Structure 1
Amino acid sequence: MTLTEAQKKAQLAIAGGLAGQVFTFALILIGLLASLAESFSYSPNGFSALSSNMASLGSYAITSIPGAAWIAPFAPRYYPGQLEGNFAFALVFTLFVGTTALRNWGLTLRREVRAVFRQLKHNQWLERAQNESRAQTQIDVMNVGNIFITTPTPKDWWTRPAGVVVLAVIGGLGVEFLAPMLK
């Protein structure tokens, strides 16, 4: 991959990851608020004062945040103790983790490209200092897009922070699925 390709990939990864993070975070937040607002309807017991206040906060937030009322029917809900409703929530949370990993990869790639440019500039200054008297070929630092860079070999996915979170979510869903069977 050349430096110009790496710059383009980094910009796309950062922009796509940030857009995905904002969208999935909005879905998660609105889904949690809608779950709070609907918690009165699926609660078998009476509500305590704190729970009723939380349900009021959720319904107030959905009505006061611009656009939240339009997104709320599509946002996944979190229902404690129920497996069926939580798959969509886990999927959106996994998408949030994936977009975060994509953005972090883009930021890392951008840092590596900047480090290569800094090293090229430094080497150019050293050459000028050592070879002031001799005629030399001038290399423009900003037009070195055809220099190939190698990316470091990635670690195993389950050792990265995002992989650990994904494994934790999968483990939590597994426990939630297996717990009713063991009773």
Structure 2
Amino acid sequence: MTKHRCDWCTGDALYEAYHDTEWGKPVYDDATMFEFLILETFQAGLSWVTILRKRENFRAAFDLFDYKKIAEYNPQKIEALLENNGIVRNKLKVKATVTNAQAFMQVQKEFGSFSDYIWGFVNNKPLKNTVNNYKEAPANTPISDALSKDLKKRGFKFVGSTVIYAHMQATGMVNDHEVNCFRYNEV
């Protein structure tokens, strides 16, 4: 018997694997939080599956998403990234990755961890929505609006409310699996 998945991922093996093992699973470690934040910022204006297909290229190009290394990138490294056709070569997004790594570490200094900071916006507990069809899920919420605003105030770039809500979904801060999806109660 086939497991029912959220309709947005069906028909693509990579998408289904991501859905089945990662999407919506609560994330509490800073390294994974940073990886998803960077991937979501690159996704802005593109489809998620495009980013997912380039994920390993991003991982290699950005030193396994080591935010301490990324925060130190110099203009030569940025230029090299802009010549890497394995990633999305958007100058503003590449520069934002460096800025976001620096801001990420500032948040860590202030709150002890980025995870503690970001999970505070949902009272440290995943929100569980009742989504019957993925098309009914919101693109943003008052919480993602507030988080986006706060991140921007802290110097983060490409963190609009829609990007942040997608980040919240990906990292399990909100469960937007369809109610008949096998992952709905698992996460």
What TM-score bracket applies, with the shorter chain setting the length? under 0.3
Task: Indicate the structure with greater helix content.
Answer: 1
Q: Which has the larger radius of gyration?
A: 1
TM-score w.r.t. the length of structure 1 is 0.24
